[in-house]
Amino acid sequence: MCKVDWRHRVDFAQQQRNPGRHLIGFGIVVALHVLLGWALVTGLAQRMIEVIKAPIETKIIEETKPPEPPPPENLPPPPKFAPPPPSFVPPPEVNVNPPPTPAPTITTTQVAPPPTAFQVTPPPAPVTAPAAPPAPRPPARTEPRIDFQNACARPEYNTQARRAEAQGSTTILFTMDTTGQISEATVEKSSGPSREHKMLDRLALEAVRACKGTPGTLDGKPEKLTSRITYVWRITD
């Protein structure tokens, strides 16, 4: 189903009702035809065609060469220009801070408070500590003895030690039981560094081990005690 735009139909109807526009257009068309016919009758159109058909003249324009420059003359050298002086740069401004103002010194004085009255209490009487008990008395000790003069055989020089004239003192550390027998014996100090001195040390050690002496006592009772004896080696003849 087609829809009819009634608005356009109304505009077209209004144009049909305005005949003045049609008359103006018709008059312009008639005037153009009259003008064209007049041009044909008077030959104006023929002259325009002849003007258009006239020959066209062409000209070749030769390029004109510029005149040659004159030969160079002895010209003075160009002046030398000195470089311009460096521009003045002002030094940077330095802000100098003024010295700080010293702070005022504040002195404080401490005022001692008034003395307070107080009561002095006398110190208590010293307490006398009880006397310490007396230290126990050490037991009475007697050292064990070896009698080389009467009860034991004295150690004698051997041939090598006498020939080397070895002399010195040999100290023997020994332990004696309650019966007077030597249970242990060692050389505590040698008579010298040589081989012959070592021989003398061995002779003294063997004599002590073979000897029987008087045992030591503690508070009068025989006890197994350790002691030492020194034998002096000396050549007399």
Using one digit for the tens of pLDDT, what is the confidence trace for 118-161?
A: 465 666 777 777 777 887 878 889 999 887 777 788 888 999 99
**What gap in Å lies between CA 216 and CA 211, rounded to an integer?**
15
The pLDDT-based confidence of 2 (bands split at 50, 70, 90) is very low
> What pTM was estimated for this model as a whole?
0.43
DSSP string, 96-165: PPPPPPPPPP----PPPPPPPP-PPPPPPPPPPPPPPPPPPPPPPEE--B--TTTTSPPP---HHHHHTT
In the three-class reduction of DSSP (H, G, I as helix; E, B as strand; rest coil), residue 93 is classed as coil
Domain 141-233: CATH class, spelled out: alpha beta
Summarised one tens digit per residue, pLDDT across range 186-234 is: 999 999 999 999 999 999 999 999 888 899 999 889 999 999 999 899 9
* Residue 219 backbone class (left: φ over 0; alpha: ψ -120 to 50; beta: rest): left
